[in-house]
Amino acid sequence: MDPTAGDVVFETIVPGADRSRIAEFSAGTEDPNPIHTDEAFARAAGFPTVLQQGPMTTAHFARLLAETVGPERLRWLDVTFTAPVYPDEALTLTAVVAGVRDRIVTCTLRAAKADGTATAKGEAGFATQA
């Protein structure tokens, strides 16, 4: 049965990434930006420590959607980063169905820290089951 508005597609706690994992993700994305790996650089840029990459949150959303509905059903994903994420901060990622139209299920995405701070919001679309 196809989902309806309000259905939870997933609600998942993603454990925090430590500095070595953040550096690994930079290597895997060919990201040379020292803001993710160099403490002094991050502080000079006005942050208390290095930043986790926004694209890591995007990757989590895409992976969780693919695991939940199947990768072949993914159509689009749009994520806006709203607050910095620092090392070792767990995030709760949620996707809730907003509606179904023209055989595409649209869902609303949210990422938040344990204290409730929203770090990303967005939308995704995936195909209804054939």
Partner 1 sequence: MRMEMAGHVYPPFLLRPDKALAAKFLSGQGAAVDLDRVPPTYLIFLRAESRGANLFADLGIPRQKALHGGQRYEWRAALDWDDDLDVTVTVEKITERAGRGGRIWFADVAFDYVRVADGVPVLREITRLIERE
Of these, 41, 92, 94, 96, which contacts partner 1 (CB under 8 A)?
Answer: 41
What is d(CA 16, CA 90) in angstroms, rounded to the nearest whole number?
A: 4
User: Within 58-77, which residues bind partner 1 (CB under 8 A)?
Assistant: 58-60, 62-63, 65-66, 71-72, 74-77
Task: Choose the binding region for partner 1 from 5-13, 48-56, 93-101, 103-111 (rule: CB under 8 A).
Answer: 48-56
Query: Does residue 115 belong to the site contacting partner 1 (CB under 8 A)?
Result: no
Which residue lies nearer to partner 1 by CB, 30 or 115? 30
d(CA 61, CA 81): 12
- Could you tell me if 50 and 38 are in contact, meaning their C-beta atoms sit under 8 angstroms apart? yes
Part in contact with partner 1 (CB under 8 A); list of ranges 4-12, 33-41, 99-107, 108-116: 33-41
Task: Give the integer Cα–Cα distance in Å for 62 and 94.
Answer: 12
Judged by CB under 8 A, does residue 31 bind partner 1? yes
Residue 21 C-beta-side C-alpha neighbours within 13 Å: 10
Residues near partner 1 (CB under 8 A): 14-15, 17, 21-35, 41, 44-46, 53-56, 58-60, 62-63, 65-66, 71-72, 74-81, 120, 122
